[in-house]
Structure 1
Amino acid sequence: MDQKSVHEYLQSKPATLITKPFAQETDVYKVQHKMFATLYEGKEGQTNANGEPIWWLNVKCDPDEALELREQYPSIVPGYHMNKRLWNTIYLDGSVPADEIKAMIDRSYQIVVENLPTAQKAEIDKLLGQ
C-alpha cells in the first residue's frame, strides 16, 4: 500500500478525525480524540525504486503481536517517537502485504475504541452496526 491508499483506508474508519498537532507533514488519525495512527513522510532519506520518499505509518498494537510482526517483517520496527512496546512503525515500501497493513490498522482502531469510555464506545459501536 502507498501513502494515498493508506490515508484513504484510515480516513474510512467511522468517526475518524485527522489532525496535525506535531507538524504539517504528519497526519494524526483519531477516534473520539484518541490517536490510533500517524502517517508521515519517512526520515533518513529513505526512497523507493522510483526515488520517491517512503512514508511511515504508526499503529497501536498488542505488545506480543507487535513483537511477532517485527520478527516477520523487516520493515516493521518499534514505533518511531512512540511507546515502543505498544506501537509499531511500518515503512510503506511495498514489502508488507496490503491485507496485513489493513488488518493492523483495524486492530489499532479497535484497541482504541475498546478503551474509550462507555458512552463514546457505544456511539462508535452504533456507527459500526454493533
Structure 2
Amino acid sequence: MNIEEVRDYCLSLPFATERSPFGPDTLAMEIGGRMFCLMTLDGQRDFYNLKVAPDYGVELCDRFSGIRPGYHMNKRHWVSVDFYGDVPDRLQEQLIFHSYCQTAMKLPKKIQTQLGLTELLDTLWKNDRNK
C-alpha cells in the first residue's frame, strides 16, 4: 500500500479523523482524539506506525521483515510497517483495522457512547478476531 491508500483506508473507518499534532509533515489518524496510525508526509520515511496488541506485535515482527517495533513510539504497543515491504496489502488493511479497534476500545466509555461506538465496537472486534 502507498501513503494515499493507507490514508484513504484509515479515513474509511467509522468516526476516523486526521490531524497534524506534531507539525505539517506528520499525519495522525485518530478515533475519539486518540491516534491509531501515524505517518510522515515529507517522504523521508517509507513506513507508518500502528498500535497493536503487544503479543501480536512481537509475532508480526518475527514473521515479516517489513514490520518492526514502532519508530519513536512505545515499542511494546506500536509497530512500524513498510509501505513497500513483504507485508501484503490485505494484511496491512487488517493491521490498520486492528489498530483502529485497539484504540477505540481503550476510549473512555463516555466518548464511546457519544460517538455511538459501543455496539459497533462489539461487532467490529468480533469480526477482527475471526479474520
TM-score interval, smaller chain? 0.7 to 0.9
Aligned residues between the structures: 120
Q: How far 1:104 sits from its partner (Å)?
A: 0.6
Q: Report percent identity of matched pairs.
A: 30
Distance 1:80 1:127 in 2: 33
User: Residue 93 of structure 1 aligns to a residue in which SS?
Assistant: coil
Gaps of 5+ in 1: 44-53
* Structure 1 counterpart of 2:82, from 84, 91, 97: 91
Instruction: Please state if 1:59 is matched with 2:50.
Output: yes
Residue pairs, 1:14-53, within 5 angstroms: 14-41=14-41, 43=44
CA RMSD for the aligned pairs? 2.0
TM-score (norm 1): 0.83
Q: Mapping of 1:87-126 within 5 angstroms?
A: 87-122=78-113, 123-125=115-117
Structure 2 CA distance, aligned partners of 1:38 and 1:113?
Answer: 15
TM-score (norm 2): 0.82
Q: Tell me the CA shift for residue 128 of structure 1.
A: 3.9
1:12 maps to: 12
Question: Where has structure 1 moved over 3 Å in runs of 4 or more?
Answer: 126-130
SS at match of 2:76: coil
Q: Read off the aligned partner of 1:112 and give its amino acid letter.
A: T
Q: Which has the higher helix share?
A: 2
What is the CA-CA distance between 1:23 and the residue it aligns to? Answer: 2.6
SS of the residue corresponding to residue 117 of structure 2 reads helix
Check conservation: 1:63, 1:86, Cα contact below 8 A.
Answer: yes
- What SS does the aligned partner of 2:98 have? helix
Unmatched 5+ stretches in structure 2: 124-131
